[in-house]
Amino acid sequence: MRHDTRLSARDNILVAATNLFYEQGYQATTIDHVLARSGVSRPTLYTHFATKEDLGLAYLKLRRQQDLNAIKDAIRQEKTPESRFLAIISHVRKALLDSNYRGCRYFNVIAELQATNNPLVKEARHYVEDFREIIRDVVLELKATGKRYKTLDVNRVAEAYYLMVSGAIMGSQEYQDPWPIDRAIQEIKNLILV
């Protein structure tokens, strides 16, 4: 058991599930795995989460907020519109390396469960849409900074940025190497060369 005695039972369950769902996938993770990792009893788990799906939704909602806040914090730390523009891909690169190329938890859930009407897939897509909006916001800020970027096509640049990030995550996960994300960084820089 690797549970933290300082956390509530609910938090221990959520921490265990968060790690397991990301490490081995949602479908491969059983309630027994979560019980073993969290150190709580089955009745305690079901007191907090009626189903595995409820636990999966709680995991995605918790991580969605944490992950979006981390990206926004990375952007806020930068001083110029250009560095804020690049902060997203830099943050993704660091997260990818820190996770040993496990990829994006949201893309993984979408790929694993596939059904568009699945509540977990819907929740994962909420993150993707929020992520795309953050990209759009930094592109809009860049366009508003002055003459140099006034002709920037916000939709084209934001969509290309998102597609490059997505492809780089998948490529780095596939090759277990940073070269796809590093190449994406160069291509994303090229999006704003005017």
**pLDDT at res. 1:** 44
Spatial separation of the C-alpha atoms in residues 58 and 132, rounded to whole Å? 22
Q: What pLDDT, on a 0 to 100 scale, did the predictor assign at position 193? A: 83
In the prediction, which pLDDT does 5 show?
61
Q: Is 72 in the same domain as 40?
A: no
Is there a single domain that holds both residue 107 and residue 159?
yes
The pLDDT of residue 48 is 97
Which CATH number belongs to the domain containing residue 8 in this structure? 1.10.10.60
- For every residue of 111-133, DSSP letters joined together read HHH--TT-HHHHHHHHHHHHHHH
**27 is written with which tokens?**
């479908």
- Residue whose structure tokens are 């970027």: 149
pLDDT for res 60: 97
* Residue where the block lists tokens 């609910």: 10
Return the pLDDT at 73. 98
Instruction: Tell me: do 68 and 130 sit in the same domain.
Output: yes
**Predicted pLDDT of residue 147:** 87
Determine the pLDDT at residue 2: 53
Which range of residues forms the domain containing residue 28? Answer: 1-50
* Domain match, 66 and 103 both: yes
Residue 23 inside a domain? The answer is yes
How high is the mean pLDDT of the chain? 94
Does the pTM of the predicted model rise above 0.85? yes
Residues 21 and 97 in one domain: no
Evaluate whether residue 56 is within a structural domain: no
Q: Can you give the pLDDT at residue 146?
A: 77
Q: Name the stretches of the chain with pLDDT < 50.
A: 1
